[in-house]
Amino acid sequence: MSVLSRRAAAMLVMAVCTVYFLTPLWWLFVGSTKPGGRGVGLWFDHFQLGTNLHAVLTYQDGIFLRWLVNSIGYTVGAAAIGTLLAAMCGYALAKYRFPGRETLFNIVLGGVLVPATALALPLFLLFSKAHAANTYWAVFLPSLVNPFGVYLARIYAASSVPDELLEAARIDGSGEVRSFFTVSVRLMAPALVTIFLFHFVAVWNNFLLPLIMLGNQKLFPVTLGLYTWNSQVDQRPELRGLVLVGACLSLAPMLIAFLSLQRFWRSGLGAGSLK
Amino acid sequence: MSGSRSGSRHLGAVGFFITPFVALFALFYLVPIGYAVVQSLYQVKRTGTFGPAHDVFGGLVQYRRVFSDSPFWHSVERVLLFGIVQVPVMLGVALILALLLDSGLVRGKRFFRLAFFLPYAVPGVVAAIMWGYLYSPNLSPFTALTAHVHLLGADLVLWSIANVVTWVYVGYNMLIIYAALLAIPTEIYEAARIDGAGYFRIAWSIKIPMVMPAIVLTTVFSIIGTLQLLAEPQVFRSFSTAVSSTYTPNLTVYATSSVPNFHLAAAFSVVLALATFVLSFSFLKFTQRRGVQ
């Protein structure tokens, strides 16, 4: 095969895959600009995105906006705090020797292999005992824990924070905790953004925990809200259009996060598999 | 690594660094696991037919019920079948796309990388709703296909769900493998190229063996993900009557807990967590023994 025909074949595969990956998203966008539930082709027809957005945002006293805000509240807070805690723990595992270090690392690594969904039911029972199920905290607090983040932070800290630098900081009289926040966090920053992004996605997508924990619609994250609407379409046909517009709208925060953090996930993603 | 002498010097700092995570990990991982095990050993007894209910120790009664619950084991078979087909297809496509991106044959790499990764930003619930519409004969733009093939019927719905999962995760897995490919020093290829090795030969004999750790990692995560399947089939229940309330093991846990029978649901959870742990752990051990680091 000549180089030219190889190139053409490679580009053809890429083009076909692009169509496969982007068509559903394009369809969703086009669908959400049409009058509710109307013929769902791949091109615009009776464009009324503004009307549809208004309908979604005002339905049931604006519950959808509340779900979006809830999702952002659960996700940004849990991912930010969770990333910091994982970074501190992974950093300590990489940079200090202390009794029980290997045991701790192995237990945390075991935590990566335990499916989070297996924890949802016992968490619900425990929170019910404490009369805290069906509250914001019942979803937020368990979302803080990210064992895979600890694993990644340990690898990143080992490879990006030189011991000599920490030793120099010690000689300058800096405490260990201060060195972490002034020196090490900066060196680990690209990695921390990657951990944050993964944690963000995991919490944003979480479904079983809120499904089991929450009965009060006002506390729902947007995924659970859309799921509820979608399962009521048979009784309330007007929801069909709203589900599409809502689904489209719910993707916006994630797409913004992905596009703006591009340079980090592009470079940081693979580090977990490099030893 | 700081020398061993530094260990005793910095115990206070270590405590500061690890305590918050360890405390939360214990509270929201270890305690729930322990609690699920304890709950699974109890059963509800009533005094008389309509008397008040008590929890009494039942030993392995719930586990006996788990092992004789045929819908549960059918659902386990179903996700295993799903995994045996979907995981290799998804990772195969991800590997091919990563190799193509890395081959130097493709223009516009940044665009393709972003286009393939975007579906990962779509939550499983939303992806399932979207594809559910695309599969529905009266809503889909692909009527030529959906009018003749019942994508939501009992025969095909499992593979329709597999397509949703594949669509979401190919780009993510591709990026992990691609990042590993980028880390290979290019001198290695130069030598092979001078020896006359072509694209396929280099990909097969050099690149794929060198990115094996990334492939192993993505496989383990995919195995865990498959056994946990929940959001997509749960959403598909509103599109297809073929998806029952016990379609996947996790759906069974959810259905049992909403009965509510928490003791039995806890036993299901424990068995499922153990199975996931054993499967992913033995896959890791297996690949390590084969010398794939």
What is the tens place of the pLDDT at every residue in B139-153? 788 877 888 888 888
Taking contacts as CB-CB distances below 8 angstroms, the residues of chain A near B107 are: 11
* A204 in Cβ contact with B123 (< 8 Å): yes
Quick one: CA torsion of B231, B235, B237, B240, rounded to 10 degrees? -120
- Whether residue B145 is found in the same domain as residue B38: no
- Whether residue B167 is found in the same domain as residue B267: yes
Give the count of beta carbons closer than 10 Å to the beta carbon of residue A26: 12
- Whether residue B27 is found in the same domain as residue B105: no
Do residue B17 and residue A269 have CB atoms under 8 angstroms apart? no
Closest Cα to residue A128, out of A36, A215, A226? A215
Burial status of residue A212 (CB atoms within 10 A of its CB: 0-12, 13-18, 19 or more)? buried
Do residue B176 and residue A125 have CB atoms under 8 angstroms apart? no
Q: Is residue B45 helix, strand or coil?
A: strand
Q: How many residues does chain A have?
A: 275
Burial status of residue A228 (CB atoms within 10 A of its CB: 0-12, 13-18, 19 or more)? middle
Average pLDDT over residues B259-277: 90
Does position B221 have pLDDT exceeding 80, yes or no? yes
Q: Is residue B55 helix, strand or coil?
A: strand
Average pLDDT over residues B64-81: 93
Q: Which domain holds residue B138?
A: 66-289
- Whether residue B55 is found in the same domain as residue B110: no
Q: For residue A101, what are the contacts with CB-CB under 8 A and spacing of at least 6?
A: A93
Beta bridge partners of B56: B43
Q: What's the rounded Cα separation, in Å, for the pair A2 and B105?
A: 12
* B28 in Cβ contact with A145 (< 8 Å): yes
A171 or B186, higher pLDDT? A171
Reported confidence tier of residue A272, pLDDT bands at 50, 70, 90: very low
How far B128 CA sits from the closest chain A CA (Å)? Answer: 10
Average pLDDT, chain B: 88
Is the ipTM reported for this complex over the cut 0.95?
A: no
Whether residue A73 lies inside any domain: the answer is yes
Report the number of distinct structural domains present in chain A: 1
- Tabulate helix, strand, coil % of chain B (nearest 5): 70, 5, 25
Closest Cα to residue A7, out of B106, B99, B96? B106
Do residue A207 and residue B24 have CB atoms under 8 angstroms apart? no
- Whether residue B28 is found in the same domain as residue B161: no
Do residue A118 and residue B270 have CB atoms under 8 angstroms apart? yes
Instruction: Look up residue B212 and give its two tokens.
Output: 């094996």
How far B156 CA sits from the closest chain A CA (Å)? Answer: 19
Single-letter amino acid, residue B54: H
What are the backbone angles phi and psi of residue B122, rounded to the nearest 5°? -95, 120
* A227 in Cβ contact with A217 (< 8 Å): no
Q: How much is the pTM?
A: 0.89
Taking contacts as CB-CB distances below 8 angstroms, the residues of chain B near A200 are: none
Average pLDDT over residues B160-186: 92
Do residue A121 and residue B265 have CB atoms under 8 angstroms apart? yes
Do residue B14 and residue A147 have CB atoms under 8 angstroms apart? no
- Whether residue B29 is found in the same domain as residue B143: no
Whether residue A44 lies inside any domain: the answer is no
Query: Given A6, A40, A205, which is nearest B133 (Cβ)?
Result: A40
Average pLDDT, chain A: 88
Report the number of distinct structural domains present in chain B: 2
Q: Which domain holds residue A191?
A: 52-273
